[in-house]
Amino acid sequence: MSTRKRNQLKMILLGNSGVGKSSLMNQFVNKRYTNLYRATIGADFLTRDLTVDDNLVTVQVWDTAGTERFQSLGSILYRNTDCCLLVYDVTSADSFRALEGWRQEFVLQGSPRDPDTFPFLVLGNKTDLDNREVSRKLAEDWCRTHKMEHFETSAKEARNVEEVFRSGVRATLNQLKGKDRYVEHPDQVQLQTGKPSREWYCTC
């Protein structure tokens, strides 16, 4: 029987509505893709067990609504997050320009101990489409300035999806060694109630 410690990590996908956050999550966890679009209401999460660099890891992936209507939920959803994946659509310049706002909101409401070293990854999704508006160079230059790793993905074709999440896990495990990640919040609300996939809806 293995005596290796199992790590539990929470990863969150942030970005504008329609950039493919749900598709990325489902491709990573379930190896499935659908053309049917259903906007996420509030938040949804799935879990997957995997081994990264001989570490046993249970990854809880949170998919969040990319609309202003649900941004007030951020203070609850973002806390205790170990890695943040900022997602844009390579065919939408607006979704790329919105990344800085999503990053700032996560830092403000998620309260990581050291935002400068917190694991942020940037994903340019929908590379299977031809009508690109965001060049790889533009995105890579922006990520270099902000010291974040950049990937281009296609949830539809499963392009780089596995690599992105494994890189996020690896970066998180390296960053977490012996560190206290979060500022204490006495009123913190814990939403993770179990391993099975579930959806969490807001009636606001």
Query: Which CATH number characterizes residue 137's domain?
Result: 3.40.50.300
- What are the tokens at 178? 């012996």
* Within a domain: 25: yes
CA distance linking residue 103 with residue 13, whole number of Å: 11
pLDDT at 179: 59
* Within a domain: 76: yes
Residue with tokens 């969040």: 64
| Interior angle at CA 34, CA 94 and CA 93, nearest 5 | 10
CA distance linking residue 169 with residue 54, whole number of Å: 12
* Within a domain: 193: no
CA distance linking residue 167 with residue 175, whole number of Å: 12
Count of all residues that appear for the chain in the document: 204
Residue type, 147: K
Per-residue model confidence as pLDDT tens for the chain (204 residues): 455 667 899 999 999 999 999 999 999 999 998 776 555 545 678 999 999 998 999 999 998 875 544 455 556 788 889 999 999 999 999 999 999 999 999 999 888 888 989 999 999 999 999 999 999 999 999 999 999 999 999 999 999 999 999 999 999 999 877 555 444 444 444 444 344 444 433 333
Classify residue 134 by burial, with Cβ atoms within 10 Å: 0-12, 13-18, 19+: buried
Q: How many domains does the chain have?
A: 1
Contacts of 170 by beta carbon, 8 Å cutoff, 6+ apart: 52, 53
Q: What is the pTM of this model?
A: 0.81
* Within a domain: 195: no
* Within a domain: 132: yes
* Within a domain: 187: no
Q: Concatenate the DSSP letters of all residues of 105-129 into one string.
A: HHHHHH-BS-TTTS-EEEEEE-TTS
Task: Find the domain containing 148 and state its range.
Answer: 6-176
Average pLDDT, the chain: 82
- What are the tokens at 56? 């046993």
Stretch (H or E) spanning 98: none
- For 93-119, how does the pLDDT look when each residue is reduced to its tens digit (9 = 90+)? 999 999 999 999 999 988 888 898 999
CA distance linking residue 151 with residue 182, whole number of Å: 26
pLDDT at 82: 95
pLDDT at 44: 77
pLDDT at 7: 87
* Within a domain: 38: yes
* Within a domain: 203: no
